[in-house]
Structure 1
Amino acid sequence: MTAILLCFIVGGLLISFEVFVPGGILGLLGGLALLVAVGLSFYDHGVSGGALAFFAALAFVGAVLFVEFKLLPKTALGRSLFLKGSVTGTATAAPQDTLVGASGAALTVLAPSGYVLIDGRQHEAFSRSGFIAAGASIKVVAAESLRLIVISEPNSSPS
């Protein structure tokens, strides 16, 4: 009987602490302790005692969930624990299709990826032809995702 009560108390405390320390481990251990308590109740007290323990554990978990999601957010403590808003903005990739055909210079070694300077702005680039030395003239031949595909321009100066 004392082992059953101890498992119920420990399980209840762990599940209650899970409200304040998110991560799932405390809730998982608390649920496991409650399952052990229910199992011991079935073993020691038969079907009626086990069923009573099961429904008591179920009611406790329901009460904890009710307190966590309905009552706690309305208190000062709850407002400090939960996030207040959500992010409404969206991030969009810079339109790099306009840079196709532009010339520039390699800021870093492209072996095969690195950074290039085009119109005074730094961009991530991928060399289609393999190795391009830093400072070499390049030309943008395509734009994929967030990087430019470049080739070396041997006969022109960097812009």
Structure 2
Amino acid sequence: MAIQLLAAGLILLAVESFIPGFGIFGISGLLCLLGALYLALGATAQAAALVGGLLLILVVLGWWLVRRGPGSWLGRHVTLHLRSTAARGYTGQAERKDLLGRKGITQTVLRPSGRALIDGELVDVITEGEFYEPGTAIKVVSVTGGRTVVRKEEDS
């Protein structure tokens, strides 16, 4: 049984390294490895105390890595510190506040994003969650960063 737990633990840790997520695979893999160690040590009270102590050490180490690790000597060497800021010359998509309130026609299906023709210019737009077919009259309701939000123009 210890061999199966060891194999399962290693497989789960490998899955976590290729499919990072919420840590479920990694935590399950570590628990399988601790279970394998417990069984390999004879499944006694002394083995349980040793594995429990090891688990406590792992929890404290994990807490430290999350809280203090990035500022430590090792953390500074393995984490990225460069920032892509406007002060360094990095810019995202231009904020098009001039489009606010303008009307246009969808050119592609908006599911919920696509392209619309606004004042003779093709613009990447997004809806508030609705799907619109090509040829739908739209109005720009907000612009935040590079995100141009449109809503279907109501017939008046």
Is TM (by shorter chain) over 0.5?
Answer: no
Query: How high is the TM-score relative to the length of structure 2?
Result: 0.43
**Whose Rg is larger?**
1
TM-score normalized with structure 1 length: 0.43
